[in-house]
Amino acid sequence: MDATHDPKRRSFVASANGHADFPVQNLPLGVFSPKGGEARGGVAIGDSILDLGAVAHLLPGDACSAAEAAAGDALNAFFALGAGPRRALRAALSDLLAEGSAQEAALRPNLYDAADCTLHLPARIGDYTDFFAGIHHATNAGKQFRPDNPLLPNYKYVPVAYHGRASSVRVSGTAVRRPKGQRKPAKETVPSYGPSRNLDHEMEFGIWISTGNAQGEPIPIGRAAEHIAGFCLLNDWSARDIQGWEAQPLGPFLAKNFATSISPWVITPEALEPFRIAQPPRPEGDPKPLDYLWDEQDQARGALDLAVEVLLQTKQGGPFRLSLSNTSHLYWTFAQMVAHHSCNGCNLQPGDLFGSGTISSPTEDGFGALLEITLGGRKPVILPNGEERRFLEDGDTVIFRARAQRDGFVPIGFGECRGTILPAS
């Protein structure tokens, strides 16, 4: 922990002080366009966004290089610099934006009202990989097929993952068109092509890759955390009826690749430092991870204590909370995901994106997908205004939020990951 985490530090940007998401202790990075302007890198501070390229000349050494690398329309070059320049940028920005900053006058013209800006994907995503590290979700989903044996034998050894579609990842706020596809309900003998009837959300954490590795050279678990540039919220929209029919034997494909939504701000590992916790001990009888996934320090500090919330806003009302869970329910750490993904020599690249898998809690109030909440659509959820949902309807908006809170530190948030369902075309 350092001066950037000091709870007494306040910003001259008044809206930052007490801001639910973006106090001066957060300083997340993203890509935005001011009204009528080009896309560029920025940092969120309260209700404003600071233009990084425009203030780079005010920053020293590594922080200046980092701001310059973040000045374009994607943060890949910034991610490629790794942890050192990212930390230098954070330290310098924290000083610059603090109350009493000597540079307040120089910064003011480069602060934009976030409400007037458009936010973009923060990076060009090379490859997108979706993990399955939410053990309660894996158990709940597995129960629908194998009630007595929901987790497959590999689950507690392998951080299971599959490749997703990079081209269809979209920034929060982008509407999501209900996909069409092949569905074959059990009561029908042949499939038909049409709009998905069982559209769902999946509440996931997103992990941005910073520096990569050369093909053929695994990243050791002890260095894996250094390869993470930051985190976001991720909605792995899922068409359950398409998934149920298509996914054997090679996994989900069209059930997922029509759209994935992410929150626009990259919350850095440094901002989350106060909210690090030990990986919760595995239940009695679970195997110890294999050596290439085991690191004492990662076990001691590799998990995060973050509340993650799913809200549903319908055309009639809301937003209503559908679930509240915590990132500590993930069975694998983020470093274990990096080490596993590269353990065969697969080359990761700056700007790759991982999804964590759906973060469900052990109890119903924290289930991260309607599949789990409604038992695959068999038991509707009743919303506070009396509406029922088995799956998502056209016009529904799903909103994810996350919040980090710990005594002695200023809480920070992630901003929203939001998407509204449009009718099938």
118 is in an annotated binding site: no
Catalytic residue among 5, 120, 136, 137: 137
38 labeled binding residue: no
Does residue 158 bind a second copy (CB under 8 A)? yes
Query: Exactly one of 168, 313, 328, 420 binds a second copy (CB under 8 A); which one?
Result: 168
Phi, psi of 209 (to 5 degrees): -90, 135
Q: How many residues bind to a second copy according to rule CB under 8 A?
A: 63
Least separation in angstroms between residue 194's CB and a second copy is 10
Closest approach of Cβ 413 to a second copy, in Å? 28
Flag whether 352 is marked binding.
Answer: no
Give the per-residue contact string, 222-261, with a second copy (x = CB under 8 A; - = no). Answer: -----------------x--x--xxxxxxxxxx--xxx--
- The amino acid occupying position 155 is Y
Cα(261)–Cα(118) distance, integer angstroms: 16
Alpha carbon distance 136, 261 (integer Å): 22
Whether residue 329 lies in the annotated active site: no
Q: What is the DSSP string of 296-314?
A: HHHHHH-EE--EEEEEEE-
User: Please, how many CA atoms are within 13 Å of residue 237, restricted to the half-sphere of its CB?
Assistant: 32
The candidate with the shortest Cα–Cα distance to 415, out of 302, 275, 261, 277, is 261
Number of helices followed by number of strands (H, E) in the chain = 11, 26
The amino acid occupying position 152 is L
Establish if 294 lies at the interface with a second copy (CB under 8 A): no
Taking the least distance from each CB to a second copy, the nearer of 129 and 268 is 129
- Contact set for a second copy, span 327-386 (CB under 8 A): 340-341, 343-349, 352
Q: What is the dihedral of CA 393, 396, 397, 400, to 10 degrees?
A: -50
Report the DSSP beta bridge partners of residue 307. Answer: 326, 403
Any known ligand binding at 295?
no
Instruction: Please give the Cα distance from 359 to 367 (Å, whole number).
Output: 7
Q: Taking CB under 8 A as the rule, does residue 179 contact a second copy?
A: yes
Q: Give the catalytic positions in this structure.
A: 137
Residues interacting with a second copy, by CB under 8 A? Answer: 126-127, 132, 142, 152, 154, 157-158, 160-168, 170, 177, 179-182, 184, 190-193, 215-218, 239, 242, 245-254, 257-259, 287, 290-292, 340-341, 343-349, 352, 422, 425
Numbered residues of the known binding site: 130, 132, 146, 202, 204, 236, 243, 256, 260, 358
